[in-house]
Chain A
Amino acid sequence: MEEAAKTLKEYQEHIDEALNDKFLRKTLDKFAVEYRVSRDNVFKEVPGADCVQKIADTKDWCSKHLEELYEQFKTEAEKRGVIVHRAKTAKEANEIVVKIANENAVKSVVKAKSMTAEETMLNVKLIQEKFEVVETDLGEWIIQLRDEGPSHMVMPAIHLSRYQVADDFTKVTGDAYNPEDIPQLVKVARVQLRKKFNHADLGISGANFCIAENGTFGIATNEGNGRMVTTIPKTHIAIAGLDKLVPKLEDALNVLTVLPRNATGQRLTANVTWINGAGECEIGKDGKKNLHIIFLDNGRTEIAKDPLFSQIFRCVRCGACANVCPVYRMVGGHKMGHIYIGAIGLILTYFFHGRDKAAILSQNCIGCEACKDICSGGIDLPELIREVRTRCHDEFGTPVKEVLAGKILKDRKRFHTFLKFVRFSQKPMADNEGFIRHLPDILFSRHKFKSLPALAPKAFREMWTDLKYTLESPTMRVALFSGCVQDFVYPEQLEAFIKVMKHHNVQVDFPEEQNCCGLPMFMMNQNDVAKEIAEDNLKAMSAANYDAIITLCASCASHLKHGYHTILGDAANAFIEKTTDFSSFMVDKLGVTSELLNKSGEKVTFHSPCHQCRGLGVVEQPHALIDMAAEYVPCAEEQVCCGFGGSYSSKFPEISSQILANKVRNIKETGASRLVTDCPGCIIQIRGGVHKAGLNVKVSHIAELLAENLKP
């Protein structure tokens, strides 16, 4: 198996390799699009949100009652002749398996798919001990033939092409296969593995749920190998993490309602097996199965006690967090987790496989929240990933560059002086379209994929004295939170906002003591700095004086609303309640209609910023606004991240640029002549991408579209 990268540079090299794997890219792209469709189709047939909430509630309860559940399961299972083991570590679990195998004179072992056995690297141990081990799940068998690890939790061989598979099979059987005939390739497994089942001495499986009330465990499989492995050999060992314990059958059925739908868009797997007690086995001693279950701890009891990370217990291993992850889509599973893959993989790698492996991996998250949105257990995955980074930082120290950035940002005046200096020094490099043409190579050597914007000649805060106005009897009084990007790079977007507000009889104030929202520092895990900034802003914005605090940056909005609560707790509630993004303010609070707007014939499409659609749950409002001022054309994958992610795009520019390329392709396909969005970060990214691709599409803020179409 591939070794985990030790340095960021080494990791970037691994990533470049993946990005150049054309087959992988094509497969994962196709999968990302098709998965969404099939998943949404079957998900809407069930009360999905309720089921997810139930999984979260049940598993939260389980993490607090782990020992009781374990004891109950053990008592019930032992009553029915099952031998229950508990392993503290991965090593211990493997040793228990070896001991059982030796006691039963086992020579050959058949395995059904088990992520827990992958976690303990059981195969390595069994092979060392000279057992014959065969993986019987088709995908697992293929990667076993190649001596690789899984690249997806549910589809372990998704990274391989039919040609590679056909070649691997030829190596095993000596026969040639037609790679175009996938059904025939599947039959190779049927033909090759039946004898293995029939003559194995030991079957090893995982378990999806272990039900305490009656000591039953359940396994969900598609290929029929799960039932073979648990039926034909006379000894069966199931390996399960302690997190698989649930109180009742209903809990398992609830998980089953979500898991296959979320995993692969199936309503249910072809087989679900409920094993209760050591049952009939003709060749077993006294006609009974020799049945063992090993519960693996490997840090789980500690995780269960952690106030934040106990959420991990809600994971049902559906793999959906990889399916929707824009980073996974670009680089595949082997670059996104040591054994567990995707968002949860970044987290579990830290707990199960060590901090050194996680320190680098955990940086490869763009923070788009797609994983959180789809998770079967409603886990706040991006927040946990951020916290893993914090812990790695605490252990390894914060990089110097980031400490420096923190120092500058914390002090508003110093930050603004710094920006003015940058503006001055970039002058000769900005062209008349406002892009920096020649990037200073030293600063941006990995950043050339898109044109970067230049700082505006005059910041919004410098324009404010001239823009200020006073209305006689305004409908509402609001405060503008500008955010750094619009203040210093795109002040014209705020100017447009002021124009729209004035036209709608809304009085705007711009509290000048406001600073950056602090999100960049929060994402860089400089939590102290982020907290100081948040406190300053709370004071500066004096929420009590306004009907609303508006920001035209979705990232700021989401951070002001959710991040501030994480950082400051309930003390931020009054502020949070008043804070809103532009589109929801216009539609929900102000209730604008087309009365004051001209509907132009311009074809306009939309990009839904991550921090708006998932961060704030705002989806329809921008569509409605566009429709009042232009002809709205929907864009495919509207809610998929544009690849910006703040500092992410400079840390992993190659991934970011590939994500952007997909976005630009989808925009092109709409045929629209303009794209609007509600976040200046996305505008930097998309405008740059469109410019580089030579596409004739105007990219602007939704406020600018409205400002241009006000009725006189």
Chain B
Amino acid sequence: MTDSEIVELYKNKAEAVACKIVEYKTIEEAIPYIIKVVEEKAPCELLDDEDVEKGPLSPNGVPTRIQPVLAAPHCDEAFYKKFSEACEAKGYKCISKGLRNYLAGIDVGIASAVLGIAETGSCMVDTSKEDIRLSTMICEVSILVLKKSTIKPTLISVAEDLRSHIGASSASYTTFISGPSRTADIERVGAIGVHGSLEMHIILLEG
């Protein structure tokens, strides 16, 4: 497979598991897209008690956030600066740590993938840092940033990367993520959004 075939295969398989894929040259250029995602989404449900101003009940009968919360923990500093400014301009709350204070749910979590797996449409994300892990778990919309050049063809072909990644620190927690959380546990009818993310967007970057 050529590189562009691998990218095409990745897109195809990721879309098959309900990922939305957008392409940008740099992550900074994607900031308006992320803001638009927040503008278009329904208010975040508060699934646990939190001392915060609440909006009307959601269709599931749950109170909602008035001020959207976006998390981008442990990311590139230059990006975070621009990103948090953009959020501020919109009146959104942007956080980079302390996600345990938001276990009731956040609107959007942003994380970088170490690599992609074309065969399954997956991202490998280093979630050793607890805040990164939480940001991809308790968010309603999960946004993963993936560089095209890091996409590998098959599951088995990521073995070495996974190994060196695991071995790099004394303890690690790595996740392969393939689409939003889903279930078919009721009458085998597929439904998206169980305990984890309700939506997943992949920002594919050149390079």
Enumerate chain A interface residues (CB-CB to B < 8 A).
27, 30-31, 34, 45-46, 79-81, 136-139, 142, 155-158, 160-162, 165, 175, 182-191, 193-195, 197-198, 214, 216, 222-225, 227-228, 230-232, 248-250, 253-254, 256-257, 264, 267-283, 288
Contact = CB atoms under 8 A, between A and B. Distances in A.
A223 B173 contact: no
Contact of A273 (B173, B183, B188): B173
- Closest A-B pairs by Cβ, 3 of them: A224-B196, A277-B171, A194-B47
A182 B189 contact: yes
B183 A198 contact: no
A276 B45 CA distance: 32
B67 interface: no
Interface in B124-153: 127-130, 133-134, 137
A198 B105 CA distance: 11
Contact of A231 (B105, B134, B159): B134
B192 to A, nearest CB: 8
A195 B133 contact: no
A185 B186 contact: yes
A712 B67 CA distance: 89
A276 B128 CA distance: 9
Given A232-B103, A267-B121, A222 B183 contact: yes
Interface of B: 13, 16-17, 45, 47-48, 59-62, 100, 103-105, 117, 119-122, 127-130, 133-134, 137, 154-156, 158-159, 162-163, 166-167, 170-189, 191-197
Nearest to B171: A277
Nearest to B162: A249
B119 A277 contact: no
13 contacts: A31-B188, A139-B183, A184-B60, A189-B195, A193-B195, A195-B47, A224-B194, A224-B195, A254-B156, A257-B155, A267-B13, A269-B178, A270-B179
A500 to B, nearest CB: 47
A222 B128 CA distance: 20
B120 A138 contact: no
Contacts of B167: 214
A248 B48 CA distance: 40
B46 to A, nearest CB: 9
Contact of A182 (B122, B163, B187): B187
A138 B185 contact: yes
A162 B172 CA distance: 40
Given A162-B186, A186-B183, A256-B155, A198 B194 contact: no
Given A231-B134, A268-B176, A279-B172, A216 B188 contact: no
A280 B120 contact: no
A276 B61 CA distance: 39
A267 B120 CA distance: 6
B196 A223 contact: yes
Contacts of A190: 47, 60, 193-195
Contacts of B45: 191
A59 to B, nearest CB: 17
Nearest to B98: A282
Contacts of A79: 170
Contacts of B189: 162, 182
Contacts of B61: 175, 191
Among A185, A249, A256: residue with most chain B CB under 10 A: A249
Contacts of A155: 184-185, 188
A193 B47 CA distance: 9
Given A182-B189, A267-B178, A280 B162 contact: no
Given A194-B195, A253-B156, A267-B120, A138 B177 contact: no
A227 B139 CA distance: 13
Nearest to B18: A270
A273 B185 contact: no
Contacts of A269: 178
A223 B178 contact: no
B187 A274 contact: no
A268 to B, nearest CB: 4
Given A222-B182, A256-B155, 5 more contacts: A138-B185, A139-B185, A175-B61, A222-B181, A267-B16
Contacts of B177: 270-271
Residue from B17, B62, B159, B184 whose CB has the most chain A CB atoms within 10 Å: B184
Contact of B60 (A46, A191, A250): A191
A544 to B, nearest CB: 48
A282 B130 contact: yes
Best-surrounded residue of A165, A280, A288 (most CB of chain B within 10 A): A280
Contacts of A27: 187-188
B38 to A, nearest CB: 20
A280 B171 contact: yes
A249 B178 contact: no
Nearest to A79: B170
Given A191-B62, A270-B180, A270-B181, A227 B133 contact: yes
Contact of B171 (A157, A228, A279): A279
B163 A195 contact: no
Contact of B120 (A136, A183, A268, A283): A268
Nearest to A261: B120
B87 to A, nearest CB: 23
Contact of B119 (A46, A194, A276, A281): A46
